[in-house]
A and B are shown apart, each in its own frame.
Chain A
C-alpha cells in the first residue's frame, strides 16, 4: 500500500468545510481544503445572516465567511483552488482526481461540497438565466430598481428574499404551488407586513416568457385557470440540489435526492469518509449546524486515524 500524501482532505469551503478546516488545523493534522472557486458556499447568496450566534446585530453572508476563512488561516489551514471530478474512497488510501488530471491522496476525506439552488425546469428558464431569471436575490436585486419581479417558492429563502427585493423593486409577487407557505411564522409576518409583497398561492409556473430578457411568467392556478403575469425578473428560490457530481453515490448510499446519509459522528458508510453541511441527508440546513457538523467530523477523523496507526 502506497502512503497517503495527506491525513485529511476537506472537499468544499462553505461554513461546514471551513469549520472542519479550523478544527483540523488546530489538531495539527496534515490537512488541505480544496475549493473550486473561492471559499463561501451558499451563504454567499444570503444578504444578511441574523441567526448565527455571536453576532447580535447580524452579519452579511460574505463577512461571516471571510471571518471563518481568516480564523482557519490563522491556525495554518492549507487551501487549494481546484475542482474535484472523481473520488475513489473505498481503499485505505483515498484518491481524488482533479479537473486537470492530477491526483490527491489522503487517509481520510470530509465531503463538504454543499448544495446549490434548484432549477424549476420550465421552458424559458435556461435560455433566460442571467437575462431576468436569477437564483440569487442578493446578487441581482439591484438590477430591478423600480421594476416588478416574481419570486418562485414558499420556503424561508423565498419569503425572506422577497422582502429583501422590495428595497429595489416596486412590486414583488411570491408564487407558490401550494395553498400555504412553508416559511417560518416570523418570516411570513415580515412579508405580510410589507405592502410591496404580494402572494399568488396554489399557482404553478408553466413557462418563462421573453425574447432578449424576461417579459413575464405564464401561470396556471391549481383550479386550471391560466394567466400571464408581466414581470422584468423571476427569482427561483425553490430549494436546493446537492453538489454530488463528483461523488460515488452508490458506495456512499446516497438518498433518493442525492444527499449523503451519516451517523451522529458524521461518518458515512465508507470508513474514513465523513459528510458535513448541506450535502448531508438531513432536515435542518442552517449555517450554525453546518459549522457544528464540521467540528464533529474532525473529531471522528482523529479517532479514525488513531485506529489506523
Chain B
C-alpha cells in the first residue's frame, strides 16, 4: 500500500501526467466544435444510404452520438496516453538512476512491479473517467439528448435514449479493461528499456501495426485476428449493438485479462532476473 502511494505520488507529481488529460480535452473540444459547425453535413454523408429509402427526423446529432464519434476517434490516441505513463514506470527510473536505489530498500522486485502496475491502472481509470465526463456529459450539455444511431458496415442500429446510459457505463468499464492491457504491455516494454522513449514508441508501434492487421480483410490475417488483443480492445462497441453480443464481449474480456496477466507475469519474471545497473 505504501509502495502504491509512493508510485501514485510520483505519477501525479509529473507534469507529463496531466498532458494526457489535456490532450483528451483538446481532441474532444475539437470534435465537438467540428460537430457544432458542420455536423449536419457529416451526418448527411454517413446516412446517405439510409436516406435514399427512409426519412429520419429529430435530433440525430445528439450528445450520445457525438460521444460515440469521439470515442471512435480516440481509439488510437488513448493507448499512446496510457503508454506515456506506464512506459515510463520502470524505464524512467532506470534513466534517472533511481531504480537501483529503490531496490536497495527491503521490497521484493515483484511487489515493486505490481505497485507500478496498480498505479498505472489507477491512472488509466482516472483517464477514462475524465474521458467519460468530457466526451459524454459535455456532449450531452452541448447537443442535448435523443435516440442514438449506430452505423455499422452492414447494419443500422437505433437505440432509444432511455436505453443508452447503461451502455456507456459498460463501455467505459470495458475501455478500462482494454487500456489496462495496453498499460501492462507498456510496463513490460518499460522493463526491457533504460529510457522511457523506447517503451512509449514501441507500445504505439505495436498498437498501430496490430490495429492495421485487425482491420485488414485478408484471409491470411483472418487466421490470426482472433488472437490479437487489438481485435478485442474495440469490444466496447458491442454494447451499442442490439442485441448486445454478450458472449463475444465476454470472450474479448477474457482474452484481454489473459494478455494482461501474461504481460505482468513476464514483466515480473524478467525484472526479477534483470541486472539493474542504474
State yes or no: do A and B come from one complex.
no
**Residues in chain A within 8 A of chain B (CB atoms):** none
